Amino acid sequence: MAMNPADWARGTRSYLSDVQGEYQKITWPPQAEAIAGTVGVAAIVTVVTTALGLVDFFLSRIMQYLLS
């Protein structure tokens, strides 16, 4: 099913216009809020990663003990 190039160009132009309209609706957080959010996420990721690493370490030790 071939598409008329004029229709394709019109559709593309309409899509890009819609994207630009939606982009203008974005409200960006202040820099301090963005930094605080980033630090918070990094802290949570660090805690969860450490906890999962410890669980993995201890479970592997238990499996080594049971298999030996």
pLDDT tens digits, one per residue of 16-35: 999 999 999 999 999 999 99
| pLDDT for the residue numbered 17 | 95
Instruction: Say if pTM beats, i.e. exceeds, 0.85.
Output: no
- Alpha carbon distance 4, 10 (integer Å): 10
- Alpha carbon distance 68, 55 (integer Å): 20
Residue 61 has pLDDT above 90, yes or no: yes
Q: Which two tokens stand for residue 41?
A: 């996420």
For Cα atoms 33, 34, 38, give the angle at the middle one, nearest 5 degrees: 115
Q: Which two tokens stand for residue 36?
A: 């605080």
- Alpha carbon distance 35, 9 (integer Å): 41
